[in-house]
């Protein structure tokens, strides 16, 4: 398997499968109107830089933001763009999301790029950092099928 032109060995491919499943769970939760799977995937050592904030937020700030999430109409498609496993215990995943409906039901045509950094903690992979940016790039090519929680 290759991602972004880089070959993946068996360990990296397994890590990607596990992390991609976590990402799928996060987006399935969003489609149901909850951020609980996102909170469960997050490390208590998390530092996140989401849209609309002036400075990064810690785990408590992330949980508070997740609590305010509302609406179950969101439609996203998520496309893998890159993956890197370093030392076996840290992984970086890059993806592009295309949102066509916001959680409140408002139709949109929005793209954003996300970098998630995961660390292997007791019990499995945990998200330690999330960085997002709006994107004008609409390239949705991906080395694996996209995450499509609503099909």
Question: What is the pLDDT at residue 19?
Answer: 97
- What are the per-10-residue average pLDDT scores of the chain (151 residues)? 77 95 94 93 93 88 90 91 91 96 94 96 96 93 90 57
Question: What is the pLDDT at residue 149?
Answer: 83
Contacts of 8 (CB under 8 A, 6+ apart): 1, 2, 16, 83, 85
- Does pTM surpass 0.85? yes
Helices (H), the chain: 10-32, 36-41, 59-68
């Amino acid at each position: 398997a290759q991602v972004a032109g880089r070959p993946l060995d068996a360990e990296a491919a397994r890590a990607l499968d596990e992390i991609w499943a976590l990402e799928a769970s996060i987006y399935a939760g969003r489609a149901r109107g909850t951020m609980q799977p996102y909170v469960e995937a997050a490390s208590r050592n998390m530092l996140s830089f989401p849209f609309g904030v002036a400075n990064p937020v810690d785990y408590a700030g992330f949980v508070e933001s997740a609590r305010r999430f509302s609406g179950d109409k969101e439609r996203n498609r998520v496309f893998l763009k890159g993956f890197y496993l370093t030392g076996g215990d840290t992984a970086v995943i890059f993806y592009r999301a295309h949102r066509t409906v916001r959680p409140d039901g408002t139709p949109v045509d929005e793209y954003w790029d996300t970098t998630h950094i995961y660390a292997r903690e007791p019990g499995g992979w945990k998200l330690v950092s999330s960085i997002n940016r709006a994107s004008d790039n609409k390239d949705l090519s991906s080395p694996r099928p996209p995450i499509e929680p609503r099909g």
